[in-house]
Amino acid sequence: MHRLLLVFVAAVGASVFVLPRMDASPVVGPCVAPLQWEGRWVVYDHSTGRNSRAAVSYDALNQRIRVLQQHKKHTPCQRFFEYIYLYQSMVMFQIDQKTKECSKIALTEVWDPFDVPDNSTFEDQYFIGGPGDNIEVQEWSDRKPARKHETWVGVYTMKDCYPVQETYTTNSSVTTSTRFFSLELGISDPNVFTPPSTCQSARAERMVDLEC
């Protein structure tokens, strides 16, 4: 499971439409998620009502993530950034996609991978989609018998253990929901984790995401 506190806020929290099936595979235990993948996500922040779409490169082997926000022409004054999270160095780079200005910010949260922890609680198993395009998934949480509510729920595919959706809550209030899609195994270009030369003289303050 992953609790990445993104500098930008986030993505469609719409529920996934599912069709239960009686012939679902038996539950054995949490699956093992891929260590490296690329794709896209949509993160939705329920406290602000804001959402963001981004291309993502995820490298658990080296504890690093690169997030490239996608441009939305209908959002006036919006600035778009590239984020490079380097957890082994506990630092994050924020790069303005247009001007290449760079901020270097110390990370305060330790590495928390996108996976299903061994001590997770099984919640449900079902198929997504309709006839002919079903994808079997499992739903897990950090719910424990002594606790009334879970603070994390993750949906992962049965076949390859790719993340489908993760939701975090705090004090029984939903904080963020993340949907993953178009994922592909591996890292096509490892250089995306290397900050540009403008980061050699990076500022220490985070840049705001609005120009006006």
Mean pLDDT to the nearest integer, 174-185: 93
Rounded to whole angstroms, how far apart are CA atoms 15 and 165?
Answer: 9
How large a percentage of the chain has pLDDT more than 70?
83
pLDDT of 10 strictly over 60: no
The percent of the chain in helix, strand and coil, each rounded to the nearest 5, is: 5, 40, 55
Rounded to whole angstroms, how far apart are CA atoms 153 and 120?
Answer: 9
pTM of the model: 0.83
CA distances from 170 to 12, 108, 119, 140, 173 (A): 18, 18, 20, 17, 5
Rounded to whole angstroms, how far apart are CA atoms 47 and 66?
Answer: 24
pLDDT at 9: 37
pLDDT of 8 strictly over 70: no
**In the chain, where are the structural domains located?**
36-201
Instruction: Please tell me what DSSP assigns to residue 195.
Output: P
Query: Which two structure tokens, joined as six digits, stand for 160?
Result: 């390859």
Mean pLDDT over each residue of the chain, to the nearest integer = 86
- CATH code of 36-201, in short, is 2.50.20.30
User: How many helices (H) and strands (E) are present in the chain, helices listed first?
Assistant: 0, 12
The C-alpha torsion from 60 through 71 and 167 to 156, rounded to 10°, is -50
Inter-residue contact 145 to 12 (CB < 8 Å): no
pLDDT at 16: 42
